[in-house]
Copies of this chain bind each other. A is one copy, B any other.
Amino acid sequence: PAPVGYYPLLGGKVVDYICGLARVAEFMGTTQPAEVEQSEIGDGNMNLVFICRGPKGAVIVKQALPYVRCVGEGWPLTMERARFEYMALAEEYKHCPQFTPEVYHFDPTLGALVMRYIEPPHIILRQGLIKGYTYSTLAADVATFLARTLFLTSALHLTAPELRQRVAVWSANREMCALTEQVIFTDPYMIREDRNRWTSPQLDAAVARIRGDTQLKLAVAVLKEKFMTSTQALLHGDLHTGSIMVKDGSTFCIDPEFAFYGPMGFDTGAIIANLLLASCSQPGHATAAEPRAAYADWILDQMVALYTGFEQEFLALWSHEANRKGDHTPQGHFAAGPELGLAQSQFMGRLFSDTLGFAGAKMIRRIIGIAHVEDMESIKDPEQRAACERHALAIAHMLVKEPGSFASIADVAALARDQP
């Protein structure tokens, strides 16, 4: 599936490649390969990520591999995802330049993007949460990112024909969507030992209960259908804490190769799920010197601040006349003021319910599916890890099966605090 002319930029080839790009050479301060240092820092399974550093500065080169790396060439993966990542970064940069790495160059043949290097001390948020770091603007920044990218790409802001035109384009990222459908909504609920794993034997009974929980599976089926057939907004599509880079006061969302037109709650749910997993994992990272109980609470506070901030900013965009150009709720349909407010509440209520459902489904798959999270995986003692995972599973069950029992995101935090 690789285009003619494709080659991996390994073995130093990345340096020759980018020295040939005038705009990129400018950022590095040289066109001389000898003056550029490179290293591959990718931590994923599907892509190569290089830092290239010249005398003046560094850039990142991200290149798609035509197969899933850990499995080898036996699991091919569309190279087109690089183009979608490029398009998504461009769209996100338009709405949120402060939270999106600027793309300097895209090469369709190589499936490669050259982009801004998000410099240290930025680290991946998941690592920060494992280390116990706090970030003063994280919640507000992600709230803004979500509110702007979701609102401004939806029919709340666009005409229906504009929306359908975009849906046509993004529907082509269907192979990446299929991967998501399989790993989140399908495999965890089936007996597929090659694709599922969990802390065993500690969670064996819990997994059996999930597979036999008809009400849970019915709720997941509705979420899956929504994922497959709802085109509310352009989603990041993979917005977990491993796709966010942070230092105090600065936040970037990276890696939108799964972007597509889908239900908004899938993106908001992704970050909620990963914050809950991070919070539930804290007992596993506690030491006598650093008990982590207060930190687990801090993460829940961030979750509440993030979703509350998201709702506020989303509604602020919606209430601003200039943004209400979309066909969803045309001017004149609802009288401004209380009547529009009711339409907004109705929409936000449904979005909250979707958010909780998708969050729960994502938590479950990270505990019993193929791809786990380091927050839990890095807990060495299996009894301790299983206890954290059980706590997370109990919350997830409620989120998926009883979203209506939560009046607000604060109720979710309360449940997470209550649980043993």
Residues of A within 8 A of B (CB): 155, 159-161, 163-165, 167-169, 171-172, 174-175, 177-178, 181, 186, 189-191, 214, 217-218, 221-222, 224-225, 228-232, 327-330, 332-334, 339, 342-343, 346-347, 350
Q: How far is the CB of A345 from chain B (nearest CB, A)?
A: 9
Distance in angstroms between the alpha carbons of A317 and B177 in the assembled complex:
26
Distance in angstroms between the alpha carbons of A36 and B324 in the assembled complex:
55
**Cross-interface CB contact of A228 among B163, B169, B222, cutoff 8 Å:** B163
A346 with B222: CB separation less than 8 A: yes
Distance in angstroms between the alpha carbons of A39 and B131 in the assembled complex:
81
A346 with B171: CB separation less than 8 A: no
Residue of B nearest to A172 (CB): B168
**Cross-interface CB contact of A230 among B161, B168, B229, cutoff 8 Å:** B229
Number of copies: 2
Residue of B nearest to A164 (CB): B174
A165 with B171: CB separation less than 8 A: yes
Q: A218-B346, A339-B214 are in contact. Are A178 and B161 (CB under 8 A)?
A: yes
- Residues of B near A333 (CB, < 8 A) are 186, 189-190, 217, 221
- Residues of B near A346 (CB, < 8 A) are 218, 221-222
Distance in angstroms between the alpha carbons of A300 and B228 in the assembled complex:
35
B228 with A342: CB separation less than 8 A: no
Task: Please indicate which of the listed interface residues A229, A327, A347 has the most CB atoms of chain B within 10 Å of its own CB.
Answer: A229
Q: A229-B230, A230-B229 are in contact. Are A161 and B186 (CB under 8 A)?
A: no
- Residues of B near A332 (CB, < 8 A) are 190-191
B225 with A328: CB separation less than 8 A: yes
Q: A159-B178, A178-B160 are in contact. Are A186 and B330 (CB under 8 A)?
A: yes
Q: How far is the CB of A215 from chain B (nearest CB, A)?
A: 9
**Cross-interface CB contact of A167 among B171, B181, B221, B343, cutoff 8 Å:** B171
- Residues of B near A214 (CB, < 8 A) are 334, 339, 342
Distance in angstroms between the alpha carbons of A327 and B155 in the assembled complex:
27
- Residues of B near A230 (CB, < 8 A) are 229-231
Task: Please indicate which of the listed interface residues A168, A225, A232 has the most CB atoms of chain B within 10 Å of its own CB.
Answer: A225
**Cross-interface CB contact of A155 among B186, B229, B350, cutoff 8 Å:** B229
- Residues of B near A160 (CB, < 8 A) are 174, 177-178, 181, 228
- Residues of B near A232 (CB, < 8 A) are 225, 229
Distance in angstroms between the alpha carbons of A172 and B231 in the assembled complex:
14
Q: A214-B339, A225-B328, A230-B229 are in contact. Are A174 and B161 (CB under 8 A)?
A: yes
